[in-house]
Chains A and B, each alone.
Chain A
Amino acid sequence: MIRIRTIHIEEFRGIRDLALDLDGENFGICGPNGTGKSGVVDAIEFCLTGNITRLSGQGQGELSVKSHAPHVDHRENPEKAAVTITATVPSLGKKVRITRSVKNPRTATIEPADPKIQTIIEELQSHPEFALSRREIAKYIVTPPAQRSTDVQTLLRLDHIGDLRKVLVNYANRCKREADEAKHVRTRAESELKTALDVPTLDREKVLEKTNTKRSVLGLPALTELTPQTSFKEGAPEEGKDAKKPGVAKDVALADLAALSTAIHTGEPDDLKKHRESALASLKKLKEDEKALSLARAHGFITTGLGLVTKDACPLCDKPWDADELRAHLKAKLLSANEIGTLLEKLDKACDAIIGGIQARAEGIRKAAGYAAKLDRIVSHVELDAYAKDLDDAIAALKAFEDDHSQIEGAIAVLEAKWWEVPEDAQTRLDETEKGIKARPDSSAKDKAIEFLAVLQDRYERLHATNKTAGTMAARYSTAQRVYDLYNTVSNKVLEDIYDAVAKEFAGFYKAINDDEGKFIGELKAEPAKLSFNVDFYGRGTFPPGAYHSEGHQDGMGLCLYLALMKHTLGDKFTFAVLDDVLMSVDTGHRREVCRLLKTEFPNTQFVLTTHDRVWLQYLKTEGLIRKSKFFGGWNIDTGPRIWDDKDIWTEIQEALEMDDVPRAAAILRRYLEYISVVLADNLRAQVEYRGDASYDLGDLLPPTLNRWMDRLEKGIKSAKHWGHGDAQAELEKKLAEAKTLIAKSNTEQWAINKSVHFNKWENFSKTEFKEVADAFKALLDHIRCQNAKCGGYPYITPRKGASEQLRCSCGDINVNLKTK
């Protein structure tokens, strides 16, 4: 990933021309709603991916990047709408310049044209989740489990895993079908051989006995063994030499016709009847709910739709609906993936059995047609061929349904037609054929033997061939199933590990921003087609986040889950993220913890944070999360955002003094000290006189806070002395002495006893007098904060409740042990 140095935006969304200098560091953008903050976020996303989620995401059907990304005055000139980002690529130690115009959103100009840089940018395109908006954060939390599964899998780039699973299961299923079919063919070949031999079972001794009886008629030596290469007719004269019409073994033909006749008179076999009736009922159910099948195929779409029903209207067409009624309507239509899968599996199984039965009948009819053609007085076999063709069509219709489950009509037609009933004209031909065969004069014993051995050879070889094919197909299916099973096992295990790791990371982050929830746990559990997410609620069990937690907590969870997922997905490559107004939704009491979390857990990630709350921006600065920021102070359609530099407080005071505006400088200092006193009082757990209306002025907060600062330093000295840490003790004693001097200079201690030095009088000071005051407070605050330039944060006491154990800053450079036991 990258770190952004500069952004230049031209005629894009609500922005006319804007340049921002981030210098590769965290950056804050603050401003009221409607001042163009999100335009910057859109510009970053567009430049890096060619897309803008807000224009192409869910429910944005009428919007498009090409039509609506340019400034409204340049809708017809998309080439004027462009964004240029300069960045560094930490992993390569290189700089890059990326320019993208709305005219060609799919193509970015990347300089230099380095293939490695190109790969990094492509990777960014595949992770548009680097930009997270406040609206999107909720989707991780209060989303239906099936949709969460899709969203999380999309973020983790797991969709390919699902695609591969699908293709492997389809491969295994088709191999199974083909193996079953080969098995049916083999069974029929075996049955035909038994018919020819007139034996109920294929027994080696029996086959040899029957064969040798015929061979002895021809004076041929008896066969003693049966192998795949056995030639039953070896040594026999050419088939049917004395027969009037060669090629028909009368006894075998009559046996075949008798077997066919028995099958016809039996009617529909009982087992096939059960399959047909159950399949027909299921198919009719699907047909009656005509859309159910296609809806099931679009399961994800409908589930998304359900999640989007938030008001009394259809989220797609805005048609008025009662929200509860619409949800019930969608749920009634939606057959779950599991139900559909089970139903279709049962249907395929039934169809396979029925196909086997129809194939056996078609083969019997074709054989009869063959006999008819070989009679002296040829019997027309057109009707038999037509019946066989109908049977083939029936098989094709069932197979078409198996391949594409929307082909219901053809399958229902097959199951409603009585395929086992022979058409009258075909039955007449069968009767004529049997009569014709019977009318044939009996062959001589020798011819009978020759004909028998020829048929036996043919059917024996066929049985071997079909046996071999069935074996090959069974082995193929076995491999296919094995390959699928292994894939399933491995991918499920990897996914479970990933979800466990993400859930653990999530819980750790959430605990870090809510240290009142020490036992908090989160669980991500993958189930078929859904991903359940449950969180602890004060040790009373785990529940979906929306069940009991406040919206603020839910948003905090959304942010934590997002961060955990990104950290897991990108690891060291998570060097850049845009959080668009996300922080606003975090509970006020946990804002600083969020800042610390981002700072300590993601020190190598560049965050671009937008907020409409100045206090939040101040928190971000105070906690040292951001140094640079811009304030968007207004917007109009002709000029775009009006931007003011969000200056350093001391620079602002200095500028006011340079203009001899002491009252303004005093107001700035007082406002800032009021803010920072709240931060420090909270950080240091200062003992402040309680007010029910929480209305504390500077005089209420600052003196006890500074006393607390000195008190904690003293406590640290005692601790260092107790543990025999001489160096630490000396350092803290020096720090305490410095604190006393600086606090004395600020005159804060005298506010209570000498009103003339009270902050209320500052506005009446001369410029020189006030400058001394401002310098004193600046020195005092600089003294308290961490001296590490990369941190600069104010120290805080841990834990937040109970006995103080440690005084520390988020980088750890300030690390004072307060324990003496």
Chain B
Amino acid sequence: MAEYKSESISPTVTKVLDEYISVLYADEKIDNDAADRLAALLRNVKVPKFDDIDAALLSPPKGDKP
């Protein structure tokens, strides 16, 4: 069976992410804005890098600040 990198996220991965993100929102220790940013990052086909996750969890992306 050949390996072929998909250009889209599989339904199973989507299912994991959907459940994960709803758990993140329900978690009192995780800020909802951070959960939003992390969700957007994880739904990307590319696996995020350290700095991407750091930015998502710790600060709003550039341009959000007044």
**Top-9 shortest CB links A-B:** A157-B10, A126-B6, A490-B20, A163-B47, A53-B2, A160-B13, A494-B16, A51-B2, A171-B53
Stretch at the interface among A197-205, A244-252, A476-484, A722-730: A476-484
Q: Kindly identify which residue among B8, B34, B38, B54 contacts A126, using a CB–CB cutoff of 8 Å.
A: B8
Q: Does B60 touch A at the CB level, under 8 Å?
A: no
Q: Is the CB of A486 within 8 A of B16?
A: no
Residues of B within 8 A of A51 (CB): 2, 4
Beyond the given pairs A160-B45, A476-B58, 18 more chain A to chain B contacts, judged by CB atoms under 8 angstroms and listed by A's residue number, are A56-B2, A126-B7, A139-B1, A154-B3, A155-B1, A160-B13, A160-B47, A164-B42, A476-B57, A479-B29, A479-B57, A482-B29, A486-B24, A490-B16, A490-B23, A494-B16, A498-B12, A569-B11
Q: Does B19 touch A at the CB level, under 8 Å?
A: yes
Return the chain B residue nearest A151 by Cβ.
B1
Q: Is the CB of A122 within 8 A of B7?
A: yes
Return the chain B residue nearest A58 by Cβ.
B1
From known contacts A49-B2, A157-B10, A483-B38, infer whether A494 and B48 are also in contact, taking CB-CB under 8 Å. Answer: no
Q: Does A129 touch B at the CB level, under 8 Å?
A: yes
- Say how far B8's CB is from chain A's closest CB, in angstroms: 7
- Say how far B24's CB is from chain A's closest CB, in angstroms: 6
Contacts A/B (CB < 8 Å), 6 sampled: A126-B5, A156-B10, A167-B49, A482-B29, A498-B12, A569-B11
Q: Does A123 touch B at the CB level, under 8 Å?
A: yes
**A571–B8 alpha-carbon span in the complex (Å):** 17
Query: Which residue numbers of A lie inside 8 Å of B, CB to CB?
Result: 49, 51-53, 56-57, 119, 122-123, 125-126, 128-129, 136, 139, 151, 154-158, 160-161, 163-164, 166-168, 170-171, 174, 476, 478-480, 482-483, 486-487, 489-491, 493-495, 498, 569, 571
**B17-66 interface (Cβ within 8 A of A):** 19-20, 23-24, 27, 29-30, 34, 38, 42, 45, 47-50, 53-54, 57-58
From known contacts A123-B8, A126-B6, A174-B50, infer whether A483 and B57 are also in contact, taking CB-CB under 8 Å. Answer: yes
Q: Is the CB of A164 within 8 A of B47?
A: yes
Q: Is the CB of A57 within 8 A of B16?
A: no
Q: Kindly identify which residue among A161, A171, A498 contacts B50, using a CB–CB cutoff of 8 Å.
A: A171
Q: Is the CB of A491 within 8 A of B20?
A: yes
Q: Is the CB of B15 within 8 A of A494?
A: yes
**A122–B10 alpha-carbon span in the complex (Å):** 12
Residues of A within 8 A of B9 (CB): 160
Q: Kindly identify which residue among B1, B5, B11, B19 contacts A490, using a CB–CB cutoff of 8 Å.
A: B19
- Say how far B65's CB is from chain A's closest CB, in angstroms: 18
Return the chain A residue nearest B22 by Cβ.
A490
**A174–B47 alpha-carbon span in the complex (Å):** 17
How many contacts A-B (CB < 8 Å)?
108
**A56–B4 alpha-carbon span in the complex (Å):** 11
- Say how far B61's CB is from chain A's closest CB, in angstroms: 17
Residues of A within 8 A of B27 (CB): 482, 486
Q: Is the CB of A157 within 8 A of B7?
A: no
**A479–B31 alpha-carbon span in the complex (Å):** 10
Residues of A within 8 A of B34 (CB): 479
Residues of B within 8 A of A122 (CB): 6-8
**A157–B9 alpha-carbon span in the complex (Å):** 8
**A336–B62 alpha-carbon span in the complex (Å):** 43
Residues of B within 8 A of A489 (CB): 23
Q: Kindly identify which residue among A167, A479, A498 contacts B47, using a CB–CB cutoff of 8 Å.
A: A167
What band does the interface of chain B fall in when counting residues whose beta carbon is under 8 Å from A?
A: 20 to 34
**A491–B21 alpha-carbon span in the complex (Å):** 11
At the interface, is chain A mostly helix, strand, loop or mixed? helix
Residues of B within 8 A of A494 (CB): 12, 15-16, 19
Residues of A within 8 A of B42 (CB): 164
Q: Is the CB of A486 within 8 A of B1?
A: no
Q: Is the CB of A480 within 8 A of B1?
A: no
Q: Is the CB of A126 within 8 A of B16?
A: no
Residues of A within 8 A of B15 (CB): 494
Residues of B within 8 A of A49 (CB): 2, 4
Q: Kindly identify which residue among A123, A128, A157, A495 contacts B1, using a CB–CB cutoff of 8 Å.
A: A128
- Say how far B22's CB is from chain A's closest CB, in angstroms: 9
**A282–B20 alpha-carbon span in the complex (Å):** 37
Residues of A within 8 A of B50 (CB): 167, 170-171, 174
Q: Is the CB of B6 within 8 A of A154?
A: no
Residues of A within 8 A of B57 (CB): 476, 479-480, 483
Return the chain B residue nearest A129 by Cβ.
B1
**A608–B45 alpha-carbon span in the complex (Å):** 32
Q: Is the CB of A483 within 8 A of B24?
A: yes
- Say how far A730's CB is from chain B's closest CB, in angstroms: 50
Residues of B within 8 A of A482 (CB): 27, 29-30
Q: Is the CB of B4 within 8 A of A128?
A: yes
**A412–B8 alpha-carbon span in the complex (Å):** 44
- Say how far B47's CB is from chain A's closest CB, in angstroms: 5
Residues of B within 8 A of A126 (CB): 4-8, 10
- Say how far A78's CB is from chain B's closest CB, in angstroms: 19
**A136–B28 alpha-carbon span in the complex (Å):** 47
**A810–B13 alpha-carbon span in the complex (Å):** 35
Q: Is the CB of A154 within 8 A of B10?
A: no
Residues of A within 8 A of B45 (CB): 160
Residues of B within 8 A of A125 (CB): 4, 6
Residues of B within 8 A of A483 (CB): 24, 30, 38, 57
**A491–B1 alpha-carbon span in the complex (Å):** 25
Q: Kindly identify which residue among A129, A476, A486, A569 contacts B12, using a CB–CB cutoff of 8 Å.
A: A569
Q: Is the CB of B13 within 8 A of A157?
A: yes
**A569–B6 alpha-carbon span in the complex (Å):** 14
**A128–B23 alpha-carbon span in the complex (Å):** 33
Q: Kindly identify which residue among B8, B11, B29, B53 contacts A167, using a CB–CB cutoff of 8 Å.
A: B53
Residues of A within 8 A of B20 (CB): 486-487, 490-491
Residues of A within 8 A of B16 (CB): 161, 490-491, 494-495
Q: Kindly identify which residue among B1, B4, B10, B29 contacts A569, using a CB–CB cutoff of 8 Å.
A: B10
